[in-house]
Amino acid sequence: MYKRILLAYDGSDAGQKALLDCQDLAVWSQSELFLIAVMPSAMSFVGLEGGVYDMELEEREKKKHQAVLDDGLRRLAEGGNVSRGEVLVGEAVDEITKYARKIESNLIVVGHKHLDSWAARWWRGSISGALIEHAPCSVLVVITQ
């Protein structure tokens, strides 16, 4: 059964639904919960045409991601779950799979919102789809409409 559950949390509606489902699953399976928020690296903020590295922008982004993580940890604590969390920096799928290996996770939980148009799906890509291909363990994708 699942003894270590990793939730990749972004604070979105889909992420919040995943958090609730993850919380129930952790109670049921008596699992350890780990919560991560993945912040794009500073280079993601610099366009193809170049740009100026903005330390203030990076610091604002880090604070924003830390606030999302803290909110998720607070919600889990209110539900009676003790969990650990961390803000990671980099490409989401790489960071999630690397962290899952580090903690020897048995399950990764992510939220996913169905997009209406094929163009939106194509443009955005799917972190959950890519994660399934690269994950070192099972992946639970919590769907919202």
- Domain holding 66: CATH number? 3.40.50.620
Share of the chain above pLDDT 70, in %: 83
Write out the two tokens for 115. 């997009």
Higher pLDDT, 64 or 145: 64
Tell me how many domains the chain contains: 1
> What value does the mean pLDDT take over residues 43-66?
73
For residue 112, the model assigns a pLDDT of: 77
52: helix, coil or strand? coil
The answer to whether 1 and 137 are in contact (CB under 8 A) is no
* pTM as predicted: 0.83
Rounded Cα distance between 59 and 83, Å, is 25
What is the residue range of 47's domain? 4-144
Write out the two tokens for 14. 């889909």
Rounded Cα distance between 41 and 91, Å, is 7
Rounded Cα distance between 81 and 33, Å, is 8
> What value does the mean pLDDT take over residues 29-40?
92
